[in-house]
Chains A and B, each alone.
Chain A
Amino acid sequence: MDSKQIIKIVSYSLGIISLVFFFWWLNANPTRDFEILEEGADNRGAGLEAQEVEIGEYFEQFATGYTELSETWPRFRGEDFDNISKSPVKLIDNFGNDSPRILWTKELGEGHSGAAIYEGLVYILDYNEEERADILRCYSLLDGKEMWVRGYNLNIKRNHGMSRTIPAITEDYILTMGPMCHVMCLDRETGDFLWGLDVAREYESEVPLWYTGQCPLIDEGKAIIATGGNALMVAVDMETGEKLWETPNPEGWKMSHSSVMPYTFGGRKMYVYSAIGALVGIASDGDDAGEILWQTTVWNHSVVAASPVCIPDGKIFMTAGYGAGGMLAELTENNGNYSIEIITKYAPREGLASEQQTPLYWNGHLFGILPKDGGPGRNQLVCVHPDNPQEMVWTSGSENRFGLGPYFIADGKMFILNDDGTLFIARPSTERYIEMDKVKVIENGHDAWAPFAIANGYLIMRDATNVVCIDLNI
């Protein structure tokens, strides 16, 4: 064989090998071992079937006599929806060397439902784990004597607690909304059952994760409930239980943990609500009652616990947890038409944000506790100006961090509750954080997240399993 032949054979062989390699390379799929991650791999169940619930079926009276008092804290965030007590009652600004004057303590089912107070009576919607029932408990404010209970059987399991909502109280009525969206209306004095509404059944609403967090609203004789599902919001006559209007929900926005906030702007009263899907303003009265006046889908997060903070000049501040952050929007009105413009929307580490509690608007400023994903300022109480919620006016500093607990203002003092049941008293200021005192109120307290209620100088606060009444009078 001469060298020419050898070169020929080698060249042909190399050509064939290259061709084989080329076709192999063309056909090889480097991702063939990859697994496609699709939904459904967790075998999610079909969801719970709605239970047959007889709302208000159970009642028991234990006592009748109690000391009537003058003041009220009639609902979530108080009389004016701002979480600021206007009572002239003077409160202590420190505990001195004394322990807090705890008037009474009661054990409750695991949860975060706060109290409403009406002239000497305290109302808390509890979940009774033994009886497996939603139970509205009525206590005497001064001594904690249980007056009566009304409720209904309901099977639910622990899911970071069970109860979460605060009743709404007027002179005549009590309105509650339970963990599975059961609305119950009672006569305030007697606890007599007036009417009920199974929201999840009637409106095919999705019960929010970790159960209902929306505190029901009574406004001018109407119960206002954000239902999600087949209607976005409904108004029900408090006296008769008859539906007055329903807001259509063609986009299928869902119920959040946020509560409905009444707001008057541009000469119209409206209900501002942060649904899962959009922030909306709904006409509260007139011919178009129940119709959407404005909406923005820019605010669309899967879990929204805080309620809208509606500032008199038309600004609306929204915040949510789980990485959502904050948003400032501005409402304008032109010949009865409303439009909403987003001023800023940002991540939790970029400005005022809150996971559960609704920020306070006081003295032209917003106050809130940053969430754990709030960057270096995490868990600090901060103050911002609503013109720019991304610029901190002050922060409480890395040595003063808090949790997910409530904060409010009464008698010119700011009260802050830490997750472990430590109560802080601070002086509200737009200049800096001024702590006046702190005291551990609930021993071994945990998840003390329910909003405060105060009347006649008696503060109601709770952790996951205990509710406490403290005398803060001077």
Chain B
Amino acid sequence: MENNSKSKNRREFIQSGVRLSLALALGGVGGLALSKVIEDDWVWQIDPFECTQCGRCATDCVMSPSAVKCVHAYDLCGYCDLCGGYLKPDANALSTAAENQLCPTAAIERKFIEEPYFEYHIIEDLCIGCAKCVKGCTSFGNGSLHLQIIHDICLNCNECSIARVCPSDAIKRVPASEAYKVKGDFTNNPES
């Protein structure tokens, strides 16, 4: 009898121990998940005002093609016929012919809107993040084309391999809640 109650106690002890560890495990996972939600994660992003369009975003990302793509701030764009981001410097003609296009992958679509305006649209799948168009737009236009790390492609590497080589220190960790530093919505004026 004594033996019987002893073995029962042991069973209960083991059962409650399993229950407790299960509860602890669940609580831990839940807590971790909760802390993930409450705490902000950090992701990598390019500050377009710091980027000097060196071209390494295309070559140094672990993804191929790069997780960095060109994005377009339409509200900053001048909608010019002679677009320094679309056309090669000193292009033969202001046309869509291959020899006049600056983008090596023809990732920029040019559409006539009305005289004298043209709209430029980035085909993200074709963009390799080479920054050629960004350089042209920044040098000769309003700087509406700029680079961003696209988070549904980016692996969020522990150490972004582009950040390591970026000559302008333009790639920084930013809170996941503000994962993009898109031009047009913000300026580099610290007071704004």
**Interface of A with B (CB < 8 Å)?**
35-45, 47-48, 157, 159-160, 209-210, 301-303, 321-324, 355, 371-373
Contacts and interface: CB of A to CB of B under 8 A. Distances in A.
Given A37-B101, A160-B80, A322-B90, A45 B139 contact: no
Interface of B: 78, 80-82, 84, 88-91, 93-98, 100-101, 106, 110-112, 114-118, 135, 138-140
B80 A209 contact: yes
12 contacts: A37-B106, A38-B97, A39-B97, A42-B110, A47-B115, A157-B115, A157-B116, A209-B81, A301-B90, A302-B91, A323-B88, A324-B90
B5 to A, nearest CB: 79
A160 B106 contact: no
B80 A159 contact: yes
B6 to A, nearest CB: 77
B80 A210 contact: yes
Given A323-B90, A373-B89, A45 B115 contact: yes
B138 A372 contact: yes
B115 A40 contact: no
Contacts of B112: 42-45
A159 B113 CA distance: 13
A230 B150 CA distance: 52
Given A40-B95, A209-B81, A48 B115 contact: yes
A161 to B, nearest CB: 10
Contacts of B114: 45
Given A37-B106, A38-B97, A371-B139, A43 B111 contact: yes
A159 B116 contact: yes
Most chain A beta carbons < 10 A, residue from B78, B89, B98: B89
A41 B90 contact: no
Contacts of B93: 39
Contacts of A301: 90
B140 A322 contact: yes
A339 to B, nearest CB: 26
Interface of B is mostly: loop
Given A47-B115, A321-B140, A324-B89, A37 B80 contact: no
A41 B110 contact: yes
A321 B84 CA distance: 11
Nearest to B95: A39
Contacts of A38: 96-98
Given A371-B139, A372-B140, A209 B90 contact: no
Contacts of B118: 42
Contact of B95 (A35, A42, A355, A372): A42
Contacts of B106: 35, 37
Given A209-B81, A302-B94, 5 more contacts: A157-B115, A159-B116, A323-B90, A324-B89, A373-B135
Given A42-B110, A157-B116, A209-B81, A37 B98 contact: yes
Given A157-B116, A322-B140, A39 B90 contact: no
Contacts of B135: 373
A252 to B, nearest CB: 14
A394 B103 CA distance: 35
B89 A37 contact: no
Contacts of A45: 112, 114-115
The 7 closest A-B pairs by CB, nearest first: A323-B89, A39-B95, A37-B98, A41-B96, A372-B139, A39-B97, A373-B139
B94 to A, nearest CB: 8
A372 B81 CA distance: 20
A298 to B, nearest CB: 13
Contacts of A160: 78, 80
Nearest to B89: A323
A47 B117 CA distance: 11
Contact of B89 (A39, A42, A47, A322): A322
Contacts of A371: 139
A292 B93 CA distance: 26
B192 to A, nearest CB: 12
Contacts of B82: 209, 302-303, 322
Contacts of A302: 82, 90-91, 94
Residue among A41, A47, A48, A209 having the largest count of chain B Cβ atoms under 10 Å: A41
A381 B78 CA distance: 27
A322 B95 contact: no
Contacts of A159: 78, 80, 116-117
- Between A36, A41, A42, A321, the greatest number of chain B beta carbons within 10 A of the residue's beta carbon is seen for A42
Contacts of B111: 42-43
A36 B99 CA distance: 11
A48 B93 CA distance: 19
Contacts of B140: 321-323, 355, 372-373
Contacts of A157: 115-117
Nearest to B141: A160
Contacts of B95: 39-40, 42, 44
Contacts of B81: 209
A40 B95 CA distance: 7
Given A210-B80, A373-B139, A42 B96 contact: yes
A209 B84 CA distance: 13
B30 to A, nearest CB: 50
Nearest to B115: A48
Contacts of B139: 371-373
Contacts of B89: 322-324, 373
